[in-house]
Amino acid sequence: MNATDLRADILKHLEFSLGKDLAHATLYDIRMALTLAVRDRVVTPWFAATRATYAAKSKRVYYLSMEFLIGRLLEDAIHNLGLMQAAQEAMTSLDADFAAVLADEPDAALGNGGLGRLAACFLDSMSTLGCPGYGYGIRYEHGLFRQSFHEGRQVEEAENWLRQRHGWEFERPEAAFQIGFGGSVSEAGKTALWTPGEAVIAKAYDTPTIGWQGKWANTLRLWGAEPVRAFDLAAFNQGDYAGAAGLEAAARTISRVLYPDDTTDTGKELRLKQEFFFTAASLRDIVRRFQAEHSDLRALPTKAAIQLNDTHPAIAGPELVRILHDENDMPLDEAILTARATLSYTNHTLLPEALERWPEALMARVLPRHMQLIERIEDTHRSAYPKSAVRIVEGGDVKMGELSFIMGHKVNGVSALHSDLVKTTVFAELHALHPDRIINQTNGVTPRRWMLGANPRLSALITDTISSGWVADLERLRELEPHVADAGFMAAFADAKRANKVELSNWFGHEHGQSVDPDAMYDVQIKRFHEYKRQHLNILETIALWTEMRDNPNAGWTPRVKIFGGKAAPGYVMAKEIIHLINDVATVINADPVTSQWLKVVYPPNYNVSMAEKLIPAADLSEQISTAGKEASGTGNMKFALNGALTIGTLDGANVEIREQVGAENFFLFGMTAPEVVACRENPEHQADAIKASPRLKAALKLIEKGIFSDGDDKRYKAILKNLRKHDYFTVCADFDSYYDCQRQVDAAYRDADQWMRMAALNTARSGWFSSDRTILGYMADVWDIKPMI
Ligand SMILES: *Cc1c(COP(=O)(O)O)cnc(C)c1O
């Protein structure tokens, strides 16, 4: 493919798809014309993959997820198709700024954080490996809210990614299903007939997901909700315009907006409807596709593997049983076994507040037939294990974790530590009954986006050093290890990191009016705000360090830039106060002439995938400081290590495996282990004892209390202070000294620039295991029983 052909196609789309003449084309027009020209080149491999799957009568994987945090797609597609040079040349020849064209694409923010980003990395790896499959989710009209700061406080605004045409999708008006809610159930022989009281249409929108080198493409099928009847014409004719449009508005509400929190169970009826809406539409589509080729539904598990990304699609269990039993007359026991052999479930959290439960009464009202079937499923389980106390329905609630476990043939945790905790805590009783069901598949990230796309400088160096095979076989990064002893390689590695830091500093400068010294250590904590992730531990340490610098200005401080990024759920008051505190502390510290040569705090608003792609390649230090036992895996931690940042972290989630892979000597470990945290909490005075034992922590809390960071307002942070001093469930105080001391070891290590860079290079060389290709191969072998098609 050469630039001339691509250019001709861009001009053709500009004229015939966008109706614009080059002389009047805006940045949007150019971007859309390039998008369509690139998309054209995805279609052929996409069709070929579909045909090959049909021809082989292959099993398919269906990944059901409420969230797909995919970000921008254009640059990724250009890389995967090998069109980078052609696209650059075509843009130059049209006098367009290629970087600006790429940056014009809005992020598709159809997810909150790690869980949704994992789903996006999995789509990329499935296409790269030739694992035939579909991602299924919701086409939210509004993705995750846009964040800005007003006087340091988070302000949320509706995100509007569909205001412009979405260039990647294909609308499928013919692929539409009516999805019902409510109504009644009547007996119909051995089965039952559900007559819903209301209904909406689920309409499909397909986005092809192209794999590395364009060898395979799968489909991300997102469902949009539409009214069954568009409009009440009688009401309109009587002048009731709002009433006339009411039907439509009510139906569209279902796919209107992403719930901005995946760490608490909202228990809202609309959320239940969203979950059923996309799950039911996806199952109808899956069964339709199966029945187009096969007649006996008992063979469904040999042709379809359905993965539930957390419990959000857990209603797939009873819905699939309903389709098999009520609609296709399969005996109930057999329907349950068939559904179980088809379904499997990924657990993402042990936080009790995040484990979904639905009030039985609500479930019975919204999904009356499903409530009956949930009881049948529970009865079946109870008769198989009469001594077991496990219940799906308990205390008036339907527990979706138990339902998913019982309806899945495999249940996986997302890191080794987390999978062990799944066995010993939330699902201990179920694990005893089904000892082979829980397995581990440690998460991963796609190297196409998180190295090749995000870090072109380091990628070029790696390719020059070990050739290009690493992009689809990331373990080959190990071949870099011998080069760590080579001064030439190490100088080039350091140059790439420095250039990334200069670029980030420039971006800080023109976007946020605050450039920073590229020779300072870039210390980065970017992730959703949650008390368990402990951004407040980081800012307390920042305050303590600042105090120390003022007291000892001649101590030879290592210059640092503390970089934060992340959003808090709009209803999570404590997380929002932590954001406010960080911004307040930044204002004071950044204005201090004594310390400004050593310490800066930067917090750009609206962290998203595109911002992660800028920050991670420039990071020196990766903050992974959650309370041990609380972060199921983390994937941000993997992106950083891959890009040559050293981790300061606890033994939590995949940090454990990162440390094993990169070597304990290349990882800054601090804090209590998961069992130590549990033991610590047995002392109700753990926080008071820790504060008493740490003059530094005590002083930092005192500065906040005195209003040093809040213009003398000594009340502003009362809630945070009270929480830390009285409860501190997340053991910030008990881990503080260990963290502070570890940070001083980090300071010392950074002063030996050559040694630091060697450790950084070893992190890159030893992070190949964290490719999501490895994760997907694990699912294919251990859960889905499917072989790659390429
Ligand atoms: C990778 C990623 C996450 C997950 O980060 P963690 O540190 O693992 O919580 C969240 N949001 C975005 C935008 C990401 O790219």
Ligand 1 contacts CB of residue 636 (under 6 A): yes
CA distance 133 to 424: 33
CA distance 667 to 495: 22
Mutate to test the pocket of ligand 1, among 67, 110, 631, 635 (most ligand atoms within 8 A of CB): 635
The answer to whether 787 is a known catalytic residue is no
Q: Which residues contact 388 (CB under 8 A, 6 or more apart)?
A: 381, 382, 429, 433
Low-confidence ranges of the chain (pLDDT < 50): none
Ligand 1 contacts CB of residue 671 (under 6 A): no
The answer to whether 348 is a known catalytic residue is yes
Ligand 1 contacts CB of residue 635 (under 6 A): yes
CA distance 109 to 700: 37
CA distance 753 to 750: 6
Q: What DSSP assignment string belongs to 17-77? A: TS---GGG--HHHHHHHHHHHHHHHHHHHHHHHHHHHHHTT--EEEEE-S-EEEE--HHHH
Q: What angle do CA 76, 80, 81 make, to 5 degrees?
A: 120
Residue 780's φ and ψ, nearest 5 degrees, are -60, -40
How many Cβ atoms sit within 10 Å of the Cβ of residue 523? 24
Which of 452, 456, 457, 454 is CA-nearest to residue 494? 457
CA distance 582 to 566: 11
How many Cβ atoms sit within 10 Å of the Cβ of residue 203? 20
Give the strand pairing for 108-110 and 68-71: antiparallel
pLDDT of residue 617: 98
Ligand 1 nearest-atom number relative to CA 612: 15
Ligand 1 contacts CB of residue 260 (under 6 A): no
113 C-alpha to center of ligand 1: Å? Answer: 5
- Is-contact 601 564, C-beta < 8 A? yes
336 C-alpha to center of ligand 1: Å? Answer: 36
Residues in the chain: 790
pLDDT of residue 2: 85
Ligand 1 contacts CB of residue 608 (under 6 A): yes
Per-residue pLDDT tens over the stretch 123-164: 999 999 999 999 999 999 999 999 999 999 999 999 999 999
CA distance 333 to 338: 9
Q: Which residues contact 160 (CB under 8 A, 6 or more apart)?
A: 142
- Tokens, residue 546: 């600042």
190 C-alpha to center of ligand 1: Å? Answer: 48
Residue 336's φ and ψ, nearest 5 degrees, are -65, -45
Ligand 1 contacts CB of residue 565 (under 6 A): no
Q: Which residue is closest in CA terms to ligand 1's atom 4? A: 114
Taking the model in full, what pTM does it have?
0.98
Ligand 1 nearest-atom number relative to CA 609: 13
Q: Which CATH class is domain 57-72+107-443+776-784?
A: alpha beta
* CA torsion through residues 123, 127, 133, 138, sign: positive
pLDDT of residue 243: 80
- Is-contact 265 355, C-beta < 8 A? yes
3-state secondary structure of 506: helix
* Amino acid identity for residue 320 in this structure: L
- Is-contact 81 38, C-beta < 8 A? yes
Ligand 1 nearest-atom number relative to CA 526: 7
Distance of CA 479 to the CA centre of its chain: 30
Inter-residue long-range contacts of 551-558, CB under 8 Å, 24+ positions, other chains counted: 553/594, 553/595, 557/598, 557/599, 557/747, 558/521, 558/598, 558/747, 558/748, 558/750, 558/751
List 399, 483, 527, 766, catalytic entry: 527
Q: Locate the domains of the chain by residue range.
A: 1-56+74-105, 57-72+107-443+776-784, 516-764
* Amino acid identity for residue 636 in this structure: G
How many Cβ atoms sit within 10 Å of the Cβ of residue 614? 17
Ligand 1 nearest-atom number relative to CA 608: 13
CA distance 700 to 548: 10
Ligand 1 contacts CB of residue 113 (under 6 A): yes
Shared fold status for 57-72+107-443+776-784 and 516-764: yes
CA distance 731 to 724: 8
Q: Which residue is closest in CA terms to ligand 1's atom 15? A: 609
Ligand 1 contacts CB of residue 114 (under 6 A): yes
pLDDT of residue 188: 77
282 C-alpha to center of ligand 1: Å? Answer: 26
Residue 224's φ and ψ, nearest 5 degrees, are -110, 140
114 C-alpha to center of ligand 1: Å? Answer: 5
Mutate to test the pocket of ligand 1, among 147, 418, 528, 613 (most ligand atoms within 8 A of CB): 528
Ligand 1 contacts CB of residue 117 (under 6 A): yes
Residue 225's φ and ψ, nearest 5 degrees, are -90, 135
637 C-alpha to center of ligand 1: Å? Answer: 8
635 C-alpha to center of ligand 1: Å? Answer: 6
Distance of CA 279 to the CA centre of its chain: 19
404 C-alpha to center of ligand 1: Å? Answer: 25
3-state secondary structure of 576: helix
Residue 298, judged by CB atoms within 10 A of its CB (0-12, 13-18, 19+), counts as middle
Q: Which residue has the tokens 């996986």?
A: 412
Ligand 1 nearest-atom number relative to CA 533: 9
In terms of CATH, what superfamily is 516-764?
Answer: Glycogen Phosphorylase B; (3.40.50.2000)
499 dihedral zone (left: phi>0; alpha: psi -120 to 50; beta) = alpha
List 13, 348, 630, 659, catalytic entry: 348
List 431, 483, 533, 696, catalytic entry: 533
765 C-alpha to center of ligand 1: Å? Answer: 22
Ligand 1 contacts CB of residue 617 (under 6 A): no
Per-residue pLDDT tens over the stretch 93-118: 999 999 999 999 999 999 999 999 99
Task: Output b/e per residue, 637-660; b: 16+ Cβ within 10 A.
Answer: bbbbbbbbbbbbbbbbbbbbbbbe
Ligand 1 contacts CB of residue 116 (under 6 A): no
683 C-alpha to center of ligand 1: Å? Answer: 33
pLDDT of residue 1: 58
- Tokens, residue 781: 């072998």
Task: Output b/e per residue, 171-181; b: 16+ Cβ within 10 A.
Answer: eeeebebebbb
Residue 21, judged by CB atoms within 10 A of its CB (0-12, 13-18, 19+), counts as exposed
Ligand 1 nearest-atom number relative to CA 613: 15
Give the strand pairing for 153-157 and 146-150: antiparallel
Ligand 1 contacts CB of residue 612 (under 6 A): yes
- Is-contact 224 248, C-beta < 8 A? no
Residue 69, judged by CB atoms within 10 A of its CB (0-12, 13-18, 19+), counts as buried
Q: What DSSP assignment string belongs to 660-716? A: HHH-GGGSEE-S--HHHHHHHHTSTTHHHHHHHH-HHHHHHHHHHHTTTTTTT-SST
381-to-385, 406, 433 alpha-carbon distances in Å: 6, 8, 10
452 dihedral zone (left: phi>0; alpha: psi -120 to 50; beta) = alpha
The answer to whether 635 is a known catalytic residue is yes
* Amino acid identity for residue 284 in this structure: R
pLDDT of residue 190: 78
Q: Which residues contact 117 (CB under 8 A, 6 or more apart)?
A: 69, 111, 609, 635
CA distance 290 to 58: 11
CA distance 451 to 308: 28
Ligand 1 contacts CB of residue 527 (under 6 A): yes
